[in-house]
Amino acid sequence: MIVNRRLPWCCLALVASLAVSACSDAGAHASQAQAPAAQAPPASSSTTPTLDAVRGRGFVRCGVSTGIAGFSVPDKEGQWRGLDVDVCRAIAAAVLGDAAKVRYTPLTASQRFTSLQSGEVDVLSRNTTITFERDAQLGIEFPAIDWYDGTGFIVRKSLDVKSVKDLDGAAICIQPGTTTELDVADYFRTNHLTFTPVVIERVEEAINAYLSGRCDTFSSDQSALATVRTHMPHPDDYVVLPEVISKAPFGPGVMPNDVRWTKIVRWSVFAMIDAEELGLSSTTIDGALASDDPDVQRFVGRIGGYGQMLGVDSDWAFRIVKQVGNFAESFDRNIKPLGIERGANRLWKDGGLLYAPSLR
Amino acid sequence: MRHPSAEPVAPDHVVRPRRSWRDPRTRALASQAAVVAAVCAIVVMVAMQTAANLRARDIASGFDYLGRAAGFEIAQGGLSYSSRDTYARALEAGLVNTLRVAAIGIAVASALGLLVGIARLSPIWIVSATSNVYVEVLRNTPLLLQLLFWYSLSQALPRPHDALNPLPGVFLSGRGLFLPRLVWHGGWLQFGRVALERPELAGFGFRGGTSISPEFAALLVGLSTYTSAFIGEIVRGGILAVDRGQTEAAAALGLSRLRILRLVVLPQALPVIVPPTTSQFLNLAKNSSLAVAIGYPDVISITNTTLNQTGQAIEAIAIAMVLYLAISLAISFPMNLWGGAVARAGGRERGGC
């Protein structure tokens, strides 16, 4: 009875508060809808929400992997290391002046896009293959390519498999939700081969299943395979097949609502590549301040005001190289120790695919 | 009761008083309506906010993706599927896989649970002690851990080329259990011929015959043993709830112990056993979603992949939730009917637990 007497009033109060919040919500919607139109003319503050948020917060929120050696993995001291991590650090160096001002969010393959879309991270730098669908349908912007990879296969030497074509009827360990899963299905169908996918989400479990003999081969990006191989008890018993059955260009991803932020991410990657091409490294960059080479002078901010065009200060590229290093340094530090060849990821001058537009 | 005047006992010739807040029924009606309205308002607000956020972030929404080609392969299943089929078909294949493991799992768990429950009450010490250990070990360790255990156990089996061959045509290896299957040669209404197709070692594994994958086997064993421990306890509780005099009376009639159990004890225990067992069946069906950890392509596994390939998390998860709800209702509805039936047969007015 007592409950019965109070209940209506509680409910009325609830409904009333809901109505109020609904109204204010509707109001918020209205103002949100008007916001772009109303604030379009000033154009400086409202069109760069991500950049403003990063500056206000004082650090870059960067989405990385849960641990892929060479790209993003915490070291013994808990510091994140890797090529993807260096891209985050380069962005922080350019925007905030300090490469250490990054907060890393480890994300699984399944979480990564939702996390970026919902604004939990400012930039996703996580072994992510750039594809049409991810660009056009998920609405993610991929400003630059920082690693050229492709789907490959690792097999036991004792199997005597020389080519992917010999893998007809094989059981293949794959991780779900990756482009690998789609590439393998396409390749085997096109070549009239059959296979049994063994799809296991956690990479450790997938590798264990492969090592215990559940699968005849493990398929992933070439760089990941080389990493997997180094962690096997007897790496020499395994071989990565020569064929690369797909293109897998990796790059950082951002949301498209902040064009300036997109450009900063793009040029942070380009700066690392250009620095290598110009012969500027973290050890030589100080001396480069005195250089007469106009390319170098533009790079270190001695002439041109290029930083201001990008919305940062003129030392941005100098800081990237000083604090993070050029692309070769990052490669040598992170990926070379895993035994991965630079291959297609050499500079265009050296016969590779790395080609960044010039700072001019 | 404190307001007898509000009670609707007015005789016919008196004009019925206007509904007032003093009438508890009016208040009850109003409060219920208010709660329903509040829930509806919350749902609508969440939906509107979500739609607005999706638009603001330029994320595709809707269910169009279900008609697109999925592009990924699914290893096993009762449903024929290839990577050219649609996401909807892939999800169907996942649903069939979930139903298959849930249905067989429920049957096995029930049988094991009944045995274990009865065995725990056995006067033979070794039997009751064994079933006691069985229940406590399985009930007190996480299911995910058990699944990984069973899966790694299956992976400790030999490679295909050294497969165990206990019977002609039967091969057991880390790739699964391969069995001969009957094949029908010839069409309908013709004299056909039944042939035995044996699996044969070819290339990387076995071809022909039929097979049980290690993922399915590990999931089935894990789910059914884990659930059987709980069902065993329910059965034990149900049996203990039957008055001891019933057993003694049946024994006085000269019935054997098995017949006492079958004819006297279990029928009276069922009204107590069925309702909580329904919950265990539901748990088993929902726990089958842990399959994703060991690579069995169930609804959740397919949903995860779909979600990741299309980026349409809300739609994919909503579909998975609806599917699990449907599976659960499909289990609980007949179980509730059965529960009602055994309760009536057991001489009780209602399911009364």
Q: Where are the domains of chain B?
A: 95-142+223-345
Contacts of A214 in chain B (CB under 8 A): 155, 174-175, 214
- Confidence bin at A279 (pLDDT 50/70/90): very high
User: Do strands B176-179 and B210-212 pair parallel, antiparallel, or not at all (unpaired)?
Assistant: antiparallel
pLDDT given for residue A114 in this prediction: 85
**B177: phi then psi, degrees, rounded to nearest 5:** -100, 120
Residue A32 has pLDDT above 70, yes or no: no
pLDDT given for residue B181 in this prediction: 81
pLDDT given for residue B191 in this prediction: 59
Residue A2 has pLDDT above 80, yes or no: no
| B residues 117..156 contacting A (CB < 8 A) | 148, 152, 155-156
Nearest beta carbon to residue B305 from set A12, A177, A186: A177
| 3 state SS for chain B | CCCHHHCCCCCCCCCCCCCCCCCHHHHHHHHHHHHHHHHHHHHHHHHHHHHHHHHHCCCCCCCHHHHCECCCCCCCCCCCCCCCCEHHHHHHHHHHHHHHHHHHHHHHHHHHHHHHHHHHCCCCHHHHHHHHHHHHHHHCCCHHHHHHHHHHHHHCCCCHHHCECCCCCCEEECCEEEECEEEEECCCCCCCEEEEECCEEECCEEECCEEECHHHHHHHHHHHHHHHHHHHHHHHHHHHHCCHHHHHHHHHCCCCHHHHHHHHHHHHHHHHHHHHHHHHHHHHHHHHHHHHHHCCCCHHHHHHHHHHHHCCHHHHHHHHHHHHHHHHHHHHHHHHHHHHHHHHHCCCCCCCC
| A residues 30..49 contacting B (CB < 8 A) | 32
Task: Give the up-direction half-sphere exposure of residue B144: CA atoms within 13 A in the CB hemisphere.
Answer: 5
- B63-90 per-position pLDDT tens digit: 888 998 888 888 866 778 888 899 999 9
User: Could you tell me the fold of the domain covering A151-246?
Assistant: D-Maltodextrin-Binding Protein; domain 2 (3.40.190)
More confident residue, A345 or A208: A345
Residue A43 has pLDDT above 60, yes or no: no
User: Do strands A238-240 and B205-207 pair parallel, antiparallel, or not at all (unpaired)?
Assistant: unpaired
State the average pLDDT over residues B109-138: 95
* Under 8 Å between Cβ of B6 and B24: yes
- A162-205 per-position pLDDT tens digit: 899 899 889 999 887 778 888 999 999 999 998 988 888 777 77
Q: What is the dotted CATH code of the domain comprising B95-142+223-345?
A: 1.10.3720.10
Taking an 8 Å cut-off on Cβ atoms, the answer to whether B57 and A118 are in contact is yes
Contacts of B31 in chain A (CB under 8 A): 4, 7-8, 11
Specify which residues B179 forms β-bridges with: B210
Across A30-34, A223-227, A268-272, B254-258, which has the greatest mean pLDDT?
Answer: A268-272
A136 in contact with chain B, both atoms CB, cutoff 8 A: no
Nearest beta carbon to residue A8 from set B31, B41, B148: B31
Lowest mean pLDDT among A202-206, A230-234, B279-283: A202-206
pLDDT given for residue B44 in this prediction: 95
Establish, for the pair of chains A and B, how many residue pairs have beta carbons separated by less than 8 Å: 161
- B303-335 per-position pLDDT tens digit: 988 888 887 888 899 999 999 999 999 999 999
| A residues 249..278 contacting B (CB < 8 A) | 255-257
Q: What percent of chain B has pLDDT over 70?
A: 88
pLDDT given for residue B1 in this prediction: 44
Helix (H) or strand (E) holding A74: strand A73-74
- Confidence bin at B351 (pLDDT 50/70/90): very low
B71 in contact with chain A, both atoms CB, cutoff 8 A: yes
Residue range(s) of every CATH 3.40.190.10 domain in chain A: 49-148+250-350, 151-246
State the average pLDDT over residues A238-257: 91
- Please state the pTM of the whole predicted model: 0.77
- Confidence bin at A284 (pLDDT 50/70/90): very high
Residue A33 has pLDDT above 60, yes or no: no
| A residues 198..217 contacting B (CB < 8 A) | 198-202, 205-206, 208-209, 212-214, 216
Taking an 8 Å cut-off on Cβ atoms, the answer to whether A202 and B156 are in contact is no
What residues contact residue A52 under an 8 Å CB cut-off, 6+ apart? Answer: A45
Residue B219 has pLDDT above 70, yes or no: yes
pLDDT given for residue A8 in this prediction: 45
CATH of A49-148+250-350 given 1.10.340.30, 3.10.20.30, 3.40.190.10, 3.30.70.420: 3.40.190.10
* Under 8 Å between Cβ of B297 and B275: no
Q: Which residue of B has its CA nearest to A4?
A: B28
pLDDT given for residue A24 in this prediction: 42
